[in-house]
Amino acid sequence: MYTLYGTRGSGSAAVEMALELARLPYRIVRASEWEPDSALDELRKVNPLGQIPTLVTPGGQVMTESAAILIHLGLDAAGPGLLLPVDAAARAQAIRGLVFIPANCYSRITVIDYPQRFTIAADEKALDAIRQGTRKDLHRNWEVFADTFTRQPFLCGDTPGALDCLAAVVSRWSGSRAHLREHRPAFHDVLMRIESHETLAPVFKQHWDN
């Protein structure tokens, strides 16, 4: 059985969805740095950075970094159903998308949430300027993603895969969904289709109220 360290509304939701799609057995350990009553000490024993998601495989291997976890599950654990499509060229683009999101979107969200980590400025006006500028850059990067990854009805083709899981989760943060609904409505429709998929909808309901 896999052990997934994460918490409600976090990036661990993407891995949870992938495990559901792959029908792999797992248990969830609630852990995060912002929940003092969670299993943070247990998490730090396997991942000293305390980051989530962290996945421990049935063999005891520790996997961190969302994209790495999803690629691992698609290549080594779940068979051809998760890291779709099976065509080599199209699959390469799916892997590209899995790396694009943490490199160009997830990373911006960290700056928006914790701007004080990236500047010596201490006044709120300066921190807010960093937030606003980074949010603008984040939304532009989502536009690029939407224009690049255009497969239908899902990002991986006829059925959702790992890329769909990650895109649907990370796009929920920092106002990206509202921006995409206005500026990339076709892509926004894909995200809503992912959320309403019969296997994924229950996971979304557990993590978000709407």
pLDDT at 79: 57
Domain range 88-204, its CATH number among 1.20.1560.10, 1.10.260.40, 3.40.50.620, 1.20.1050.10 = 1.20.1050.10
- Residue pLDDT, tens place only, 36-91: 999 999 999 999 999 999 999 999 999 999 999 999 998 876 555 688 767 888 88
Residue range(s) in the chain whose domain bears CATH number 1.20.1050.10: 88-204
Task: Give residue 209's pLDDT band: very low, low, confident or very high (50, 70, 90).
Answer: confident
Task: Give residue 202's pLDDT band: very low, low, confident or very high (50, 70, 90).
Answer: very high
pLDDT at 48: 97
More confident of the two residues 92 and 81: 92
More confident of the two residues 75 and 136: 136
* Beta strands at 62-64 and 54-56: parallel, antiparallel or unpaired: antiparallel
pTM given for the model? 0.94
What is the CATH architecture assignment of 2-81? 3-Layer(aba) Sandwich (3.40)
Cα-Cα-Cα-Cα dihedral sign, residues 64, 18, 71, 134: negative
**Average confidence (pLDDT) over 176-187:** 98
Per-range mean pLDDT, top range of 67-76, 152-161, 165-174 = 165-174
pLDDT at 82: 82
Euclidean distance between CA atoms 38 and 209, whole angstroms: 21
- For helices 124-148 and 88-101, the axis angle rounded to 10 degrees is 170
**H or E, element range at 134:** helix 124-148
Identify whether the C-beta of residue 68 lies closer than 8 Å to the C-beta of residue 76.
Answer: no
**Average confidence (pLDDT) over 152-172:** 94
pLDDT at 80: 55
Residue range(s) in the chain whose domain bears CATH number 3.40.30.10: 2-81
Mean pLDDT score of the chain: 94
- Residue pLDDT, tens place only, 7-22: 999 999 999 999 999 9
pLDDT at 78: 59
Selection from 18, 67, 72 nearest residue 199 by Cα: 18
